[in-house]
Amino acid sequence: MEMKEGDIVSLSADAVYYSGKVMPDWVKNDKWIIKSVTGDRAILGKNVSGSNDINSPVNIKYLHVLGQEQHNNAAAATTPQKNVANLQQTTATGEMSVSDRGVELIAKYEGCRLEAYKCPAGVWTIGYGHTQGVQQGQKLPSVEAAKDLLKQDLKKYGGYVNNCVKKGLISFPLTQNQFDALTSFCYNCGNGSLQNLVSGRDAATVADKLLLYNKAGGKVLAGLTRRREEERALFLAS
């Protein structure tokens, strides 16, 4: 059967992305609507429920046609606005990336300084906590430039969350809001704390345990408490 745009497909258990990158189980276990086909390369668009949109390339040999999608226009017209905001942001390799909503949450709690300063650990820092290559006397031209640096830094911390999925430490399928909340947590608390938070836990437990990471030097800090509460609220948002 010739594969074409609009076909609903399932994936083989051994499926990988077209680039050869590992594909998470939550992708392989769902059913997807083909966005386009070029030669042996098909682009997966939305899943059949409309909750995720990954725009990821896959070799057609891993795909099995189940039927033809019949309600593109109706689904688009009836998609609640709150779900549109929660569609997944993905990279070219199919991994998740932090959304603008996630960036804004992190920026809110990190604060912005346009001139280089030494953090409490003695490291030269600028913008929203950026440290790589920062030197004394360095200045940024605008808040927008600082936010661009933050977005670059968040690729690393979002990568830590993606790695937890690859390693099976995160056993539940992540929504965009959950990914953003965990990226914010990781940027603040580090990869080790992220792994401790998510390992072997379901989503509800992770949400509750988030609130425990509100101390510094053994003391509860109001700022950390507010951040954890907002991260938890985002994690639980539909």
Burial environment of residue 202 by CB neighbours within 10 A (0 to 12, 13 to 18, 19 or more) = exposed
Token pair for 141 = 């031209």
Token pair for 4 = 């074409």
Query: Nearest-5° angle of CA 129, CA 133, CA 138?
Result: 75
Q: Which residue has the tokens 């914010």?
A: 184
Is residue 112 part of the annotated active site? The answer reads no
Cα 188 to Cα 199: distance, rounded to the nearest angstrom: 18
Is residue 186 part of the annotated active site? The answer reads no
Catalytic residue among 110, 164, 186, 231: 110
Following DSSP, what letter does each residue of 181-233 receive, concatenated?
A: HHHHHHHHH-HHHHHHHHTT--HHHHHHHHTT--EETTEE-HHHHHHHHHHHH
Neighbours of 17 (CB within 10 A): 20
Which letter does DSSP use for residue 122 in this model? S
Neighbours of 53 (CB within 10 A): 19
Catalytic residue among 104, 115, 119, 229: 119
Catalytic residues: 110, 119
